[in-house]
Structure 1
Amino acid sequence: YYQALLDIDLLQKGQPYDLLPPTFIIFICVFDFFEKGNYVYTFKKRCLENLKLELPDEATTMILNTKGTHGDISQDIKSFYDYVNNHIVTTDFTKQIDDEISYLKLDTKVRREFMLMEARLLDERREGEAVGIAKGKEIGLVEGEAIGLAKGESKEKLATAKRMLAKGCYSLEVIAELTNLSLADVEKLKEEA
Structure 2
Amino acid sequence: QVKNNKNPDTDTYVLPKRSRYYQALLDIDLLQKGQPYDLLPPTFIIFICVFDFFEKGNYVYTFKKCCLENRKLELPDEATTMILNTKGTHGDISKDIKSFYDYVNNHIVTTDFTKQIDDEISYLKLDTKVRREFMLMEARLLDERREGKAEGIAEGEANANIATAKRLLSMGLNVQDIAKATSLSIDQVEALKAE
Larger mean CA deviation between 44-53 and 32-41 belongs to 44-53
Alignment match, 2:126: 106
Question: Cα gap change, 1:27/1:11 in structure 2, threshold over 3 Å: closer, same or farther?
Answer: same
Give the 3-state SS of the residue equivalent to 1:31 in structure 2. Answer: coil
Alignment match, 2:27: 7
Give the 3-state SS of the residue equivalent to 1:80 in structure 2. Answer: helix
Alignment match, 2:103: 83
Higher helix content, 1 or 2: 1
Give the 3-state SS of the residue equivalent to 1:49 in structure 2. Answer: coil
Question: Cα gap change, 1:49/1:83 in structure 2, threshold over 3 Å: closer, same or farther?
Answer: same
CA drift at 1:62: 0.4
Which amino acid letter does the alignment assign opposite residue 78 of structure 2? E
CA drift at 1:114: 4.2
Question: Cα gap change, 1:20/1:97 in structure 2, threshold over 3 Å: closer, same or farther?
Answer: same
The sequence identity of aligned pairs, in percent, is 93
Alignment match, 2:61: 41
Alignment match, 2:115: 95
CA drift at 1:101: 1.1
Alignment match, 1:27: 47
Give the 3-state SS of the residue equivalent to 2:71 in structure 1. Answer: coil
CA drift at 1:115: 3.7
Cα-to-partner distance string for 1:86-141 (whole Å, 9 max, x where unaligned) = 001100000111111112222334423544538987xx9xxxxxxxxxxxxxxxxx
Measure, in 2, the Cα distance between the counterparts of 1:41 and 1:6. 20
- Structure 1: which 5+ residue stretches go unaligned? 125-193
Which amino acid letter does the alignment assign opposite residue 64 of structure 2? K
TM-score norm. by structure 1 comes to: 0.58
Measure, in 2, the Cα distance between the counterparts of 1:8 and 1:17. 11
Cα-to-partner distance string for 1:161-185 (whole Å, 9 max, x where unaligned) = xxxxxxxxxxxxxxxxxxxxxxxxx
Structure index of larger Rg: 1
Measure, in 2, the Cα distance between the counterparts of 1:108 and 1:13. 37
Give the 3-state SS of the residue equivalent to 2:44 in structure 1. Answer: strand
Alignment match, 2:163: none
TM-score norm. by structure 2 comes to: 0.57
Alignment match, 1:17: 37
1:66 pairs with 2:113: no
Aligned length: 122
Measure, in 1, the Cα distance between the counterparts of 2:90 and 2:61. 11
Measure, in 1, the Cα distance between the counterparts of 2:113 and 2:63. 26
Measure, in 2, the Cα distance between the counterparts of 1:60 and 1:112. 32
Give the 3-state SS of the residue equivalent to 2:104 in structure 1. Answer: helix
User: What's the Cα RMSD here?
Assistant: 2.1
Runs of 4+ in 1 over 6 A off after TM superposition: 118-121
Question: Cα gap change, 1:119/1:7 in structure 2, threshold over 3 Å: closer, same or farther?
Answer: closer
